[in-house]
Structure 1
Amino acid sequence: MLLETGDILHLAEPLKGVADVADPSVAAFLAGVGDRLAHLARCEGPEALVSAVAETRPDYVLMGSIPDPALFEHLCAAMRSATLGVIVLARGGAIPAALRDAIPARMGVDPLDPAEGLNGFTLHLRALMRRCRPVALTGRQRVGGMLLDEAALTLTGGAGQASLSLEDMRLIGPMFDVPGAVWSREALLRLAYGAQTENGLRTVDVKLNRARRRLRAALGQDPVRSVRGAGYVFDPGIG
């Protein structure tokens, strides 16, 4: 899932994370980031990673492509929060079945193909937070005349304010992250429900259409537009 868009790494900066930079794939991926991810602690090796999780209570962990399955158990034991997101750098964007079976229920794990770059990392990270740790997303974003408040789960604009469910936010949130982008159903399904979802593409149509009806009733307009043969785009300029 590669989107041609401007730099959106700032959307990931408020989230607190830890990364194992002793892993060459992680170090290479973060090369050039500098201090832009101000709340990302760099660790050297799995033991340091586990210690950092216990000490800093991060929102997410960034690790290399072939972690020891036992590492998930150690991280889970070290967690001092109810949930934790894990981004695994994995070429092709898939996690091996043996690794999936080792993931504790308290963790949300998302594979990221390094080729998707820092914008892809930002989108996947925020989507992962919406799925497993929505309390971490407390910001507000404005697109045109619309204001999305992720903490309050509301969308304000037009004639009023609409309340959103967590599932609504999983589908609409990425559109706010990259306003004006046309989102395929495949991309929205992946972000809203995760790489290993058993939901089909029809789920996106059904859930998003329900959300659009509620938005139209509350705001007096539907800011989501269908693009024939391509997907959906968030367009607050339409009536």
Structure 2
Amino acid sequence: MKVISWNLLRLTGAAVEDVAALVDREKPDVMLMQEATRHIGDLPSLVGGHFHRLSWLGRIHGLAVWSPHRFGVPRALSLPASRLPGRLPRRRAQLVQIGDITLANVHLSHGQLLNRRQLGRIAAALRGKPSAIIGDYNIVGPVLLPGFADVGPREPTHYASNVVPFRLDRCLVHGLSCRTADALAFGPSDHRPIRLELALAEGWGLDGSGLRARPDMRPIRRDRLRRLYR
């Protein structure tokens, strides 16, 4: 699965035509977007495919996903918020199921304790599923999330005040392997798009629920249970 994630920078950054040009050039299986305004909803008219946008209350932008493949309506996951007066509207993650893989499209808060709490909430919602948390983390420094590996590109994806480099756009995976990860060239936005090639990790096989389970996670057979409790 080829995934591209891009923070579009609201109204002053990438327009829908810029996103369409990137899709035409890279041909991803999934395109995740942060700070997507309602104008990005015109993307299917330019490149076809399927689109869903999750708006944030009180904001002109939100999260969006596009794919040439049909997918179910994404789930909105509310994230922890600051209790300080004048706080920003509550942030949400967009959980998208594409085949056997769940993708969490995120734009986390700037607070370095708060955004790590938000990651914990997302990880709990994805527990036991082959999944990836992708997007604008707004995190500085390492991220330690049990059960997840940081496989995103290592180069800077944003320059604060066009000077200070930060690796804000990241990808953490569980039950997946990453074949390639890199940051693309800057476009009209102040963030570089990131490009990832993800696959199910070795050891995940189909079980009765349709998810891919590792051998050590398979249920114990009933005849073995009877022997255990004799």
TM-score (norm 2): 0.32
Higher relative contact order (CA 8 A, sep 6+): 2
More strand by share: 2
More helix by share: 1
TM-score (norm 1): 0.31
